[in-house]
Amino acid sequence: MRMICQGPSCGLVFEAKRKNAKYHSRACSVAASRAGELGVATPAPEGAEVGGPGRAKRQAVNVRSHLAKWTRVTLAEVDRVDTWAGQAALVLAARIDQGGAETGSALASMIREHALAMDRALAEARQGDPLEARQDEVARRRDANAAAS
């Protein structure tokens, strides 16, 4: 027997095992109980398809972007592919492109971190590499000390 789930904001049509079933899952039953909205068993209309309408189930995020390619091209233009920030951006871009079973919040977090890594890498390109600047300073001091001796 097909029934309509009485969970708050659900309405999923499901195949019931009993004629008095109200909810398609334990989660909907608990949500209804907490909301104080205990429904009544409601048969689905004739021809209603199981599974619709209702909340979407969590599925693997299917991301098919070329973020890693774009990231590598952008970093190569400013010669920042081999910096730590550049590598971090590339790793994150590859992971974002890969998709997988990440939740929306995990994907959003990776995108934020990618943007920060790109900002760091591009800022280094504008300012010059701090490590390279430090190495130049050490070399200048070494030369100055050698000249003074």
Look up the domain containing 26 and give its range.
1-57
pTM (2 d.p.): 0.43
Q: What is the rounded CA–CA span in Å between residue 74 and residue 36?
A: 54
Which of 108, 109, 104, 110 lies closest to 68, judged by CA?
110
Tell whether 82 and 37 lie within a shared domain: no
Per-residue pLDDT at 63: 47
Tell whether 30 and 76 lie within a shared domain: no
Tell whether 45 and 73 lie within a shared domain: no
**pLDDT, tens digit, for every residue of 32-60?**
888 887 778 888 888 777 775 544 444 44
Q: How many domains does the chain have?
A: 2
**pLDDT, tens digit, for every residue of 84-122?**
888 888 888 888 877 766 677 887 888 888 888 888 888
User: Is 62 within a domain?
Assistant: no
Domain boundary among 14, 35, 57: 57
